[in-house]
Amino acid sequence: MDMDPPLQLRVFNLNCWAIRYLSKLRQERIGLIGDTLGQEGFDLALLQEVWSERDYCELKQKLTACYPYSHYFKSGVIGSGLCVFSRYPILDTFLYQYSLNGYPYMLQHGDWFCGKAVGLLIIKICGIIFHVYVTHLHAEYCRDKDAYLPHRVVQAWELAQFIQHTSKGADVVLLGGDLNMHPGDVGIRLLRGWTGLRDSFADTERFEGCEDGCTLVPANCFINKEELQPFPLGIRIDYVLYKGLSRFVVKCDSLVTTTGTAPGKSIPYSDHEAVIATLCVKPREEAKGSSGSAVEPELVDVVNEARTEVRVGLHTAERQRYSNGRMAILALLLLLLQAAMGLSSLVGWDSPQPFPKFSFSLLSLLATVVLLLSMVLYVFHTIEVKMLQGTEEQMRLALQALQDKLSSM
């Protein structure tokens, strides 16, 4: 099959950091992002953290002429923050919300309320079926004591499984997003090893931008420089990943990241740097079977490492469930004791009250609140335990299948 010339696809990926009322200069930056997208004329724009649907509507109105097709993915309490603008028709969409995404009582982080998810769009370009995925994983707030690492590993596993099971009818797979993982982290190695996705930064023929492709850099005025002290050059957590399936081959001709302030402006687009990849898609010279059947021995070690992290999270969740269950029982016993004391006064047993009535009522209210909160958290951590157990079992079966394949090679 001939395709002359090869298809070139320009992809723009950015975490916009557009939290209404909280993000600095949000409206100005959203306008700046819209102007840039309109001027540059990318084929696809994959955006994260567009938390306000009003911001999405403003971008859509501004970009209708350049990007006639767009989609906003809705999930969680305040939304997924994911949206896509495309020059080509969007044939279908689907959203998968991750089963684990932090804790509702960690209000200062807020990931649980965001409904972190992966969105899938099916797009047909010049007869080639693209499965385009956009996602945003749970943030890493402390690298030394990362309480959310098991949740992020589960999300990486679910993302890998979702791509693996939904991309069978695709010619090209493309993933963009803020993965909140360094290139060497177990989650990104698991995702790439399981799906066979290639990293545009590692494979590009031409790169221009921040050193080492970093997308959180100290030079950005919105960045807390103290958080990046261990990483003087910055960190790379935003990615454009891709692969061609049996009939097509994909390579990255060039990769560009923004470098702090936007061209001709005094402010950056976001606290993250944008990633702009130019991909080249062409048919394979010879018919080849899918490379998905090949098993890399290193993948067994990666899945084992990820399974270990899930087990650590499982033990922590079980301890938290036990603590909340014990607290609920103690609060219930206190309420029963108070009820018994109240009944004794009703039936005429004139025993002296050890507490004033106000203190007695206040203690009852406190015990009721503790009981309700403990029960809610017990249920929440029970769900967390079940999800971690399920993921650990999936990984065990995957390991068994990988080892069987390796032994038969």
Could you list the active site residues? 272
- Parallel, antiparallel, or unpaired for β 207-208 and 248-257? parallel
Residue type for position 35: D
**What separation in angstroms does the CA of 160 have from each of 196, 279, 340, 395?**
10, 21, 55, 12
Residue 44 DSSP one-character state: E
Phi, psi of 173 (to 5 degrees): -110, 135
**What separation in angstroms does the CA of 115 have from each of 146, 235, 373?**
20, 24, 22
Q: Of 170, 90, 177, nearest to 137 (Cα)?
A: 177
Residue 352 DSSP one-character state: P
Instruction: Kindly report the number of other CB atoms within 10 A of residue 206's CB atom.
Output: 10
Computed over its alpha carbons, how large is the radius of gyration of the chain? 25
Residue type for position 322: Y
Contact of 76 with 97, CB cutoff 8 Å: yes
**How far is 123 from 290, CA to CA, in rounded Å?**
21
Contact of 113 with 77, CB cutoff 8 Å: yes
CA angle at 269 for the pair 20 and 103, rounded to the nearest 5°: 45
Q: What is residue 337's three-state secondary structure?
A: helix
Instruction: Kindly report the number of other CB atoms within 10 A of residue 111's CB atom.
Output: 22
Instruction: Kindly report the number of other CB atoms within 10 A of residue 204's CB atom.
Output: 20
- Parallel, antiparallel, or unpaired for β 207-208 and 90-97? unpaired
Q: Of 312, 313, 306, nearest to 153 (Cα)?
A: 306
**How far is 281 from 212, CA to CA, in rounded Å?**
25
Q: What is residue 100's three-state secondary structure?
A: coil
For residue 32 the two structure tokens come to 């700046």
Residue 225 DSSP one-character state: T
Q: What is residue 356's three-state secondary structure?
A: coil
For residue 7, how far is the Cα from the chain centroid? 29
